[in-house]
Amino acid sequence: MCLTAVLKKKTKFFTISVELTCPDGETLALIGPSGSGKTTIIRMLAGLVAPDEGRIVYRDRVFFDSARGVNLPPQKRKLGYVFQDYSLFPHLTLHGNAAFAAQNRGEVDALMSFFGLAALRDRKPHEVSGGERQRCAVCQALARNPQLLLLDEPFSALDVVTRRLLRNELKKITETRTFPVVYVTHDITEALFIGNTVLPIVGGAIDRAWMERITAPAAGTDARTKAARTTKLALAY
């Protein structure tokens, strides 16, 4: 079982045209420079933006089909969606946020403990750090028991150390789940770490040559620099 999508959408600067597949239990990382259309792609998967043409199917459920005029609203797609930032409800405590759409209250407490938020359950979002807010946003998305998890640069506003901690925690928890995860990032190390598959998006299209270019060492690099770079990459993971 997997998520498959064929998407076409005209934007101001280019036309997004991609085909993607993500099997259950796997993570698809969409990587690309800023303004390459990654966020629009994940928003189309969520139903927040309608493609001009295409089809999105998960298991037997058709989320979108331009040929048949099907376009399920985000409410009916049973998603977990983590935005870059500012998506927690400011009037609720962290627990109130995590439990906002929860199926099972007991699971909310377990998730909050896993992400180290148990002691902060009664704090409001503005009373905690950016990392804690994003941990809570992940709890909120997982607590509704989604059939598909979408993350749009969830940790990009955080410092490097927190980002690394959070992606470790996220990887640990998504590995135990059976749904597909689509993860948007502009950080190559993050994409390689978190994704079972990494899909490079440039100018609205899949561009594998770009990926090879940015991961290859510069021409003429000596062996020592190459080794140092490998070590750095390994550390970054």
- If binding is defined by CB under 8 A, does position 91 make contact with another protein? yes
User: Which window, 85-93, 105-113, 120-128, 161-169, contacts another protein (CB under 8 A)?
Assistant: 85-93
Q: What is d(CA 126, CA 60) in angstroms, rounded to the nearest whole number?
A: 41
DSSP run (H or E) holding 201? strand 197-202
Whether residue 191 contacts residue 183, with contact meaning beta carbons closer than 8 Å, is answered with yes
Residues 15-74 that bind another protein (CB under 8 A): 46-48, 73-74
Does residue 75 bind another protein (CB under 8 A)? Answer: yes
Binding another protein (rule: CB under 8 A), the pick from 78, 123, 171, 186 is 78
Q: Min. distance of Cβ 29 from another protein in angstroms? A: 20
Break the chain down into helix, strand, coil percent, rounded to 5.
40, 25, 35
Q: Which is nearer to another protein, 149 or 211 (CB)?
A: 149
Alpha helices in 61-202 (DSSP H): 94-98, 105-114, 130-143, 160-174, 188-194
Q: How far is the CB of 90 from another protein (least distance, A)?
A: 6
For another protein, the binding residue among 58, 63, 81, 210 (CB under 8 A) is 81
In contact, 12 and 3? CB cutoff 8 Å: no
| Beta bridge pairs of residue 17 | 8
Q: Which residues bind another protein (CB under 8 A)?
A: 46-48, 73-75, 77-81, 83, 86-91, 100-101, 140, 144
